[in-house]
Structure 1
Amino acid sequence: MFDHGKRAVSTFPIATGEYYKVDYSAGVDISRYKNVPVPTSYMAAHSNYDFLGNYDHQKQAGLLHVADHHTSPGKKQWTWGNGDFGKSWDNQLTDSDGPYIELMVGTFTDNQPDFTWLKPHEEKSSTEYFMPYKNVGAVKNATINAAVNMEQSDNGVKIRAYVTSNFPDAHVLVYQNDELFADETVSLSPEQTFEHEYQIANFGSNLKVVIKDQQGVTLVEYQPDKDDIKPIPDAASAIPAPTEVKTNDELYFAGQHLEQYRHATYRPDDYYLEGLKRDAGDDRINDAYGLLLYRRGLFAESQQYFEKAVARETQHNTNPFYGAAHYHLGLSLLMQGKTVAAYDHFYKATWSYETQSVGYLALAEIDSQNNHLDKAINLLDKALVTNYHDMTIRTLKINLLRRLNRLADATKLVEESQKIDPLDIGIRYEKCQLDNTVANQNDLSIALNGKLNNHLDLAELYIKSGEFGEAVDIIKMYTADDPLKDYYESYLLAKMGQKDSADQFANAGAAASPDYVFPNRLFDVVVLNYIIDDYPTDGLANYYLGNLYYDRKVYDRATKLWEECTQLNSDYAMAHRNLSIAYYNRQHEPQRALEQLSKAVQLDSNNSRLIFEIDTLYEKLNKPLAERLKFLQDHFDLVSQRDDSYISLVTLLNETGGYQQAYDLIMDHTFHPWEGGEGKVSTQYEYALVELSKQDIKAANFSDAIDKLTTALTYPRSIGEGKLPIAVDNIIDYYLGLAYRGSGDEQTAIKHFKKATEGLNEPTDMMYYNDQPADTIFYQGLALEQLDRADLAKGRYYKLISFGEHHLFDKFKMDYFAVSLPDALLFDEDYQDRNSVHCYYLMALGHLGLGHLDKAKELFDKALSLTNHHQGVLRHQNFEKPEVK
């Protein structure tokens, strides 16, 4: 089985290696929930079976998914793990606070993330069934009719079966070595499951069970696979840097993969541009890069790349094998208003089968704009030949028939189309225009669902065919206020020559609330550019288009649009906030970022999100901790509305010595876990209690220290986190050892000192919440000293120094398989500085352990000069090493 992105692999059901940082080398059945201690994903590397399922052995019931494995190969299970950490998530995610298990299936995909291509107007379909079952245990095979289990038992072989409907006089046939061993005639039903134990000595692939109905039709069958050694697939490997990829062919597929996967840190652009650097005329790369730009709303910029692709394709043969480049060039030209040139390329695209249907559709839309209705219908008929189920083609044809007053033909096509897809909005709309009954109006209203996006999607179909009045009617059916609605109406009315009305709606859009307005379709680019050009005082239109472009990674254009918005609408906080992100992350101007975010907070001072964000920026800019603390305390009402802000306040209290207040705030608040926030609350909980216990130890209040440290070992339910079983408690155990020794309980002290020496003793990077903190190695050394093993302790300290020295000048490279970067959700992390701080910190700890106090201070100071809030450094910069007793 594979992990996400096939980045790790394990045998299944018996795992025999390391998976999710858990050692399963003893051979562990990880198909059993009780054996999986940590959050874990399982994805079948391959399966020849048409089912996926799980089973609750206590309740004797389970869930099955049945689908053809050729179209639904993806089979996944996720669990938060049978441990304290997982059970904390169970408390949040299940009705009865029981184990939380997800079953996931992939249709036309075999892994998460993994995708298949869906071409323009392409249809892919499959059929799948989810169904319950009971009493039969872990199913070995299942169909929509029945599920069967065959297991070795103490006395032979036990066969159990469950059926999904009534099957009187069914036959359960058992074969051994291809010879009939038993034939049971039984009546089966969902209430009456089958179970029988057969006296068969040898269990294996020589056995087979077949269940048939009374007519002899097989309901399900199963024969164990041969016990052969099967090859274990390799885990996926990282794509090399663009300059290290050997061929343009590989660069093309690398770019395609990154684009399709929306990779978190690698850009497809870099691979396409490297390919074009090597061969500026490369057909596939030009087409791919042009399409990438087109999807980003850069229509004019995309044109040259499509033209280069066409030029290479037609270098020797004017009729290329594929029509995609011509089709894409047609789209680019069309979105620029170059309709005549686009028409020629769309027609050329129809010469190739794979772009024939979409090419004819585009031609029909243009002919419809020019009122060549009969010609358009003829083109649509050609389009239907190769894409019979396409509802866009059908909707447009119905519309054209209606415009030609061929109402009977239009009605017939509506009826035919609804048999194919009864839910399609366009067909429902046309049906309503042909027969405007209350029932049809209700059906259309249900399909539109009161969502502006549905209205705009439908309207766009009519805009492309030149039916502007029809598009206006569709948009007017949306009754709520929204600036995009107004902008679209203005655009369409201007197209219709109604300038005064267009002005009215443009002004309404400019005055409408910008809350929850998220333009995201390519035609929004056209409409918003119209507003910006024709109504240059509308700052919010710049803001909306900037949002769209930033989302599509057109950062420079987005930044300029937001800047224009702040000039025109200087009192709009979110434009300043967005500019702050662009200045920090894209233009690397942190002070300008601070100015903009400060302006946003000034304009919208009651926005708890902005309070969190500006403190995050303060942290990035190393603002003095006391000032940050005062800022959050001054805004406590807003801070207390958000767990992320609240834990920032707690963290600052810990960093400035307010340990008791930090602990009290944690205990006064109920936290809810969030993905990306793992470890944030529990870290501060432990930190506060450990620091308070150190004060008790220093004051010889050993009993109080033991109480606090023992409390730190377990998490209260209110913090919304549980402890991972792979977590280490070296720091807590070390101080427990000191506290027990101080109280005179030497035996218990020794026990905790020994526990404090356990865990990984090789330093590593600290990137994810489940990585072992490298500073625990320092406490291993301290504990070893308390155990009179100074020789081993020095080894730990030198390892810390050696790691830092060897990696201080590393050029940071993000892990290709990094899919979660919680510290970079808002403002980018400087991972090069982070690496330097980590190395300085570990070297400082090593020198601190060896007694090189001046060197340790020098290194701590270097770390703090880069990151003034590093809790490890703050904890240890004035560390006093206790004497060994």
Structure 2
Amino acid sequence: MWNVLNIDMGLLKYIVSTFIGFLLCASNNLIAQTATITEETRSLDTYGFHTPNPVPILTENTKIFPYYKFEGYEHDSRKKNWKVIKLENEYIEVYVLPEIGGKVWGAIEKSTGNEFLYRNEVVKFRNISMRGPWTSGGIEFNFGIIGHHPSTATPVDYKIQKNEDGSVSCIVGNFDLPSRTYWQVEIRLEGDKAFFETNASWYNGTPLSQSYYNWMTGAAVATDDLEFFIPGNGYLEHNGTWQKWPIDNQGRNLAMYRNNDFGPAKSYHIVGDYQNYFGGYYHDRKVGFGHWSSYEQMPGQKLWLWALSRAGGIWEDLLTDTDGQYIEFQAGRLFNQYFPGAENPVSQVGFDPYVLDSWQELWFPFKQIGGMEAASEYGVLNLERNGDTAYIGINALQTFNEPLKIFVNGKEVVSQQLDMKPMEVFETDISCNQGDSIEVVLGNGKLYYTSENVTLLKRDFVHKPEVQRSHMEKLYHKASEAMKYREYDLAEKKLGELLSLDPTHTGALLLSGEAEYRKTNYDKALGYANKVLQLDTYDSKVNYLAGISYRAKNDAVNALEALGWAARSIAYRSVAFAQMAEIYLGMDNLDQAESYALQALDFNAHNLNARQVLLVVYRKQKQTEALDLQLQQIEQVSPINHMAKLEQLLMAEKDITAIQGDIQNEFAKETLLELALGYLSLGQKDVAQELLKINGGDSKTKLFLAALIRDSDIEKSDALLEEVDKAAPDFVFPYRREMIPVLEEIVGVHDSWKFKYYLAQNYLAVGLRDKATQLLEECGNQPDYAPFYMFRAKIWDKPYGDLLSDYTTALNLDNASWKNWDDFIRFHQDSGKNEEAAKLGKKAFKKFPDNYNVGLSYARALVAIQSYTKAISVLSGLRILPFEHASESKKIYSEAHLFLAKQLMDKKQFNKAAQLLEASKEWPEHLGIGAPYNPDNRIPDYLLGLCYKNLGDIDKAKSYFESVSSYKSTAEQISKNTFFELLALGEIGEKDSQGQLFDKIKSAAIDNKNAGLILALYNKDIDQVESLRKSQGIDSRIIQIMEYSMP
């Protein structure tokens, strides 16, 4: 029995030990497949920004009002604590910075330690974005209008969560103020994948189309061994012009980073191939980075490179301390980041009302396989031909067990089962001839490669001159483009021209009606709409415009009638039904509100306005289950949704002040105000009023609240107005349509200049310029606020004396602001008052000796009054960070040396002049500039040739003349400097070449003003020279140099 027992105990030990081993393996496997998310605070070296500008940005960039710019940037770093969200699994780490635009800070592949997304270890803000501050690295999420988005350097809303499937997510999002749209991005990591997702959504809850721009800007380190794998046969410039890719017209392989060692910074928007992936590979380190998204979601694939010359190299030090230069690989919703101008098929795109756009992207590392010729969520594949063999490598991005088949000319040559885990690599070689067709298939198309060009597109990106719009359609197209680009003044100008030619042009009438709606001229909008309805009473577009215009005038009956006709078209059905639901909710007709909201959702399940109507309806009806269902639906597509959160609080009868904890972005009060206005538009005055009450300390909120309670509590309303009147007017910046009637009513009962100032800003924001300037003039000299006078001076179209008075008053009110001094100096310069600019600059520079903005403006003024030696001295002491005017530092530097050299040459002091001319060609990096490739030194080199010719050093003179004559401009166009090339050819006796160049100049003179100027100088036609100088704004001292140089 004991023997049996011993045997049984031995078996039991074996069973127990085996079971424990199984549990441990299972536990380890479970841990290995787990994703974690943590929030921590890290202290990072930070080069900060400061000095927000209280002068409304309407004076320089109306597209992004009510945002404001930051004017100050730190040369030196200090430690600063930043929130860092870390997502991690067994294979990768991902870092997010919710206080810096919600950007992905960086990402690391663990087996190699490779940063497959560049992580900048310092936070080095520089003046680059629309508002100024920007820092490099990671992934930047850009929404709204072209450029680095306005919240790229400031806090956004965010939340972190562990999902039911074991994945983890950090969701970041923000309210874009000018468009009043909301974007959000879920950064999601699963436990068993070697990639992470960014799941973006962007919602336009406004009644009008908005500008549309999205690019997800990833960064990777730049090294000479980097090769880009971006499928396509061409690239688009910003203006839509098509160029060859990857081999350009000069035979350069642009896909090799090191081959881009020419010209300025590069923007390649690669097109032409129906593929879902792109990225890069470092051949020395044998690691790579990549991006995957379905083509229809993200067709845009852009590569952006700093110039490889010092013009780009200086940014390495300006943007980082230790991490080196970087490149950007950007994924976009459109083909390119479009700037209007050139004739081609590319154009702007609008963002339709009540539409939610969403898309998914994968960001991944890979290693060892030499490149990337195919990719999917399962892995990355590379194929390289080597004579009579081909190498095939696969880097797995998730676990799979699938058959691999390889075909050569349709014949199966490899068939094997691949059982791989994330970041494992499979490699094989096959025999083949150079021209053989190769096909690689993993599983049922989980990863696929073919050497045949089956995915090249037939879409034509090249403009065909024979395909032209008519003159009127060109005007309409330009107007439409301008509207989408927030250039409303230009749009109205083109529409006016078009309607003068064709008063019944339907498209122009519709756009004109939309423009008037934006300006709150609802009667005029209806005037245009009704004119179109006279031509076609069923037109869905115009019925929609009429419907929202009637709604803005609180004419519910006619709004419902027009919107009902708009809903006949599938294009407007969902938005029109949602508008009708909102109107019925405002009338407290809950049944009709629910009915139309549900109909809206039948045709657009992501119509959040319709779902928000249902939230209110079900809360009012106490339908808890129905409300919870809507909350779940919203959570799926809009996980950060402040109205949904508020409705939860209201349904639970909780304190609504809790909503403030969920709004973490820079403009939390604007977000809360927008929420209140949303409830007002739904007729929910009580909720709106409560929201306004908790949004304390905000002047715009108090103005709305004062208007809202005026009929019921005039004393409280007046008290609120007094509070606003006593509060500082800094950064109030009214811009919404809804604020205009509020301010108009307040201006009618209150005589404070502040309310007129606010209303003037709001008028300008919607395009009512004449009304704005009239109000600003009515304020007279009553304001005791410097930004008011600075703003009015920049907005006014007045004589010099009137503007001078405002600049003077602004400076007297606040002479501690370097920006006031700088703007005043530049005003004098722009007005041609250079002596006044220099005098003011001297005072300013004495007061702000360390401010490079002021120093540069002073140097510019000194050059203008021919005080060149002093200008050179001032420039020598500046340490300029790149900013709006930094590009002109080289111009000022060169002119100071060049013009002083010319003075010395007039005095026959050729040795001293030569020293200055050599110095003029330098690119001092302390001035925030770096030397580009192939700088055009034809003017100083020609003058150097003259100096040495006069000094008797003929050989040295000839070398400079030869340098001028052999210069090859990348633009290949005739410029002013071509004049010196023409003279240099004569100096070295190249008469035939000189004659050929002269003939080229003569033939171009009709269309090219530079050629016309050269011809006039050559013919000594003084009157024509002066006429061309004035028309082109050429400095008279350049003309004097050109005249001096002639034999």
Instruction: Tell me the TM-score normalised to structure 1 length.
Output: 0.81
Q: Which residue of 2 aligns with 1:636?
A: 845
Distance of 1:448 and 1:636 partners within structure 2 = 37
Once residues 842 and 112 of structure 1 are traced to their aligned partners in structure 2, the CA distance between those partners, rounded to angstroms, is 35
Specify the alignment match of 1:728 in structure 2: 936
Q: Which amino acid aligns with 2:382?
A: N
Confirm or deny that 1:87 pairs with 2:309: no
Report the AA paired with residue 454 of structure 1: T
**Corresponding residue for 1:774?**
975
Distance 2:848 2:1031 in 1: 26
Report the residue type matching 2:533 in the other structure: V
Tell me, yes or no, if structure 1 residue 532 matches structure 2 residue 747.
yes
How has the CA–CA distance of structure 1 residues 691 and 195 changed in structure 2, closer, same or farther, with 3 Å as cutoff?
farther
The Cα of 1:414 is off from its aligned counterpart by: 3.0
Q: Contact 1:482–1:513 at 8 Å: present in 2 too? A: no
1:32 CA displacement:
1.9
Structure 1 residue 295 displacement after superposition? 1.8
Separation in structure 2 between the aligned mates of residue 880 and residue 282 of structure 1, nearest angstrom: 54
Give the 3-state SS of the residue equivalent to 2:355 in structure 1: coil
Q: 1:709 Cα shift?
A: 4.3
Give the alignment of 1:261-340 within 5 angstroms.
261-262=485-486, 267-314=490-537, 320=538, 322-340=539-557
The residue type paired with residue 529 of structure 2 is F
**Of 652, 657, 682, which residue of structure 2 is paired with 1:465?**
682
Which residue is 1:117 aligned to? 350
Task: Give the secondary-structure state (helix, strand or coil) at the position aligned to 1:328.
Answer: helix
Give CA-to-partner distance per residue, 1:634-686, whole Å, 9 cap, x none. Answer: 221566566554333223323333333222222211122246753x1122223
1:127-142 correspondence runs (5 A): 127-142=360-375
Quick one: which amino acid aligns to residue 628 of structure 1?
A: A
Q: Does 1:488 align with 2:715?
A: no
The yes-or-no answer on 1:392 pairing with 2:618 is: no
Residues 880 and 886, structure 2, Cα contact 8 Å, conserved in 1: no
Is structure 2 residue 761 aligned with structure 1 residue 547? yes
In the TM superposition, what whole-angstrom CA distance separates every residue of 1:410-431 from its partner, at most 9, and x where no partner exists? 3454344334432111101111
Q: Give matches, 1:613-762, under 5 Å.
A: 613-623=823-833, 625-637=834-846, 643-674=852-883, 677-678=886-887, 680-691=888-899, 708-738=916-946, 746-759=954-967
Deviations 1:221-246 (A, max 9, x none): 11123499997945448999xxx963
**For 1:448 and 1:84, how far apart are their aligned partners in 2?**
37
What is the one-letter code of the residue matched to 1:482?
Answer: D
1:433 CA drift (Å): 1.7
Shift in CA distance, 447/771, structure 1 to aligned 2, threshold 3 Å: farther
Helix, strand or coil at the partner of 1:127:
strand
CA, structure 1 residues 692+58, in 2 after alignment: closer, same or farther (shift >3 Å)? farther
Q: Is the 8 A contact 1:666 1:685 kept in 2?
A: yes
Map of 2:190 onto structure 1 = none
Report the CA distance shift for 1:286/1:782 in structure 2 as closer, same or farther (over 3 A): closer
Partners of 2:699 and 2:948 lie apart in 1 by 68
Does the C-alpha gap of structure 1 residues 450 and 633 become closer, same or farther in structure 2, counting only changes over 3 Å?
Answer: closer
Counterpart Cα distance in 2 of 1:439 and 1:776: 68
Secondary structure of residue in 2 paired with 1:123: strand
Residue 6 of structure 1 and its aligned partner are, at CA, apart by 4.6
After superposition, where does 1:448-597 map in structure 2 within 5 Å?
451-479=668-696, 481-494=697-710, 497-533=712-748, 535-566=749-780, 569-584=782-797, 589=799, 591-597=801-807
**2:585 aligned partner:** 368
Once the two structures are TM-superposed, the CA of residue 49 in structure 1 deviates from its matched residue by 0.3
CA contact (8 A) 2:1013 2:1025 kept: yes
Question: How many angstroms apart in 2 are the aligned matches of 1:519 and 1:846?
Answer: 57
**Against the structure 1 CA distance between its residues 360 and 511, is the aligned structure 2 distance closer, same or farther, given a 3 Å change threshold?**
farther
Counterpart mapping for 1:744-823 below 5 A: 746-759=954-967, 774-788=975-989, 806=1006
For the residues of structure 2 that align with 1:271 and 1:878, how far apart are their CA atoms? Answer: 42
Q: Which amino acid aligns with 1:287?
A: L
Give the match's secondary structure for 1:514. coil
CA shift digits 1:416-466 (9 cap, x unpaired): 433443211110111122236699936853467761221122111210122
CA contact (8 A) 1:462 1:468 kept: yes
Using the TM superposition, give the Cα deviation of residue 713 of structure 1 relative to its aligned residue in structure 2, in angstroms. 3.6
Q: Could you tell me which amino acid in structure 2 is paired with residue 668 of structure 1?
A: G
C-alpha distance in 2 between matches for 1:344 and 1:232: 42
Question: In structure 2, the residue corresponding to 1:399 is in which secondary structure?
Answer: helix
Residue 10 of structure 1 corresponds to 243
Pair 1:35 & 2:259 matched: yes
The superposition leaves residues 779-838 of structure 1 with CA deviations (integer Å, 9 ceiling, x where unpaired) of 33443454355787688789879977x46xx9xxxxxxxxxxxxxxxxxxxxxxxx7xx7
Displacement of 1:68 in angstroms is 0.9
Counterpart amino acid of residue 165 in structure 1: Q
1:221 aligns with 2:441: no
| 2: CA distance, partners of 1:41 / 1:102 | 10
Shift of 1:110: 5.2
Q: Distance in 1 between matches of 2:840 and 2:995?
A: 43
Q: 1:725 to 1:355 in 2, by over 3 A?
A: same
Counterpart pick for 1:208 among 413, 433, 439: 439
Counterpart Cα distance in 1 of 2:835 and 2:972? 30
1:765 corresponding residue in structure 2: none
State how far apart, in whole Å, the 2-side matches of 1:863 and 1:381 are.
66
Amino acid at match of 1:433: L
The structure richer in helix per residue is 1
How has the CA–CA distance of structure 1 residues 170 and 93 changed in structure 2, closer, same or farther, with 3 Å as cutoff? farther
What is the CA-CA distance between 1:111 and the residue it aligns to?
A: 5.0
1:307 offset after TM fit, Å? 1.6
Q: Distance in 1 between matches of 2:378 and 2:304?
A: 27
1:99-110 matches, within 5 Å, as 99-107=325-333
- Cα gap change, 1:361 to 1:442, in 2 (>3 Å): closer
Corresponding residue of 2:815: 605
Shift of 1:485: 1.4
Number of the residue aligned with 1:199: 431
Unaligned runs of 5+ in 2: 1-233, 340-346
Q: Distance in 2 between matches of 1:357 and 1:647?
A: 55
Q: Please, what is the CA RMSD of the aligned residues? A: 3.9
Mean CA deviation greater in 245-254 or 725-734: 245-254
Asked whether the 8 Å contact 1:284–1:309 carries over to 2, the reply is no
Given residue 290 of structure 2, which amino acid in structure 1 is its aligned partner?
Answer: L
Q: Is the 8 A contact 1:565 1:575 kept in 2?
A: no
Contact 1:425/1:447, CA 8 A, preserved across alignment? no
Give per-residue Cα distances to partners, 1:16-67, cap 9 Å, x unaligned: 1xxxxxxx2xx11112222222222111233210112233334433332211
- Return the letter of the residue paired with 1:515: D
Q: Give per-residue Cα distances to partners, 1:542-601, cap 9 Å, x unaligned.
A: 32232233244432222223223446x4434333333333333xxx75554444444434
Aligned partner of 1:19 in structure 2 is: none
The answer to whether the Cα contact below 8 Å between 1:462 and 1:470 also exists between their aligned partners in 2 is yes
Percentage of pairs with the same residue: 21
- 1:101 and 1:752 map into 2 onto residues whose CA distance is 37
Counterpart amino acid of 1:777? T
Question: Is the partner of 1:267 in helix, strand or coil?
Answer: helix
TM-score by length of 2: 0.69
